[in-house]
Amino acid sequence: MKFYHNPRCGKSREALKLLQEKGIESEIIEYLKNIPTHAELEDVLQKLDMKAEDLLRKNEKVFKELYKGKDLSDSEWIEAMIAEPKLIERPIFVNGDKAVVGRPPEKVLELI
C-alpha cells in the first residue's frame, strides 16, 4: 500500500490519521519531495481509472498561470505534474490494483 501525502495539507493529514487509526500501514510518499516518475503516475492513474487531467489541482496558481485553457495529452499532463508536483491532487491511497483520491478523507477507507 502507498499513500501519496503532503504533510502541509489538512485533508492529507486527516486521511492518513484515519488509516493509522484502523491500523493500516502503508508506504508514505511525500510526493513534493519524492516526485513520482512518469511510469509511477501512469500506474496510479490506471488504478484510479482517471485521465491525467482529472488529477490536476486546477485552483493552484501555477495551473492558472501555465496550463489553464490548454488541451494536452495524458502524457503531457503527466509531464506537467512532474514539473510542478503541487498540481497533483492529494491525498492518493493505493492498495493493490486500486487507488482512490482521499477527497473527502474518508474515501481512503473504501480500499481497506
Please give the positions annotated as active site.
9
| Alpha-carbon span 78 to 96, nearest angstrom | 21
Beta strands in the chain (DSSP E): 2-5, 27-30, 92-95, 98-101
State how beta strands 2-5 and 27-30 pair. Answer: parallel
Q: Contact at 8 Å (CB) between 4 and 90?
A: yes
For 105, the grid coordinates are 478523507
Residue 56: helix, strand or coil by DSSP?
strand
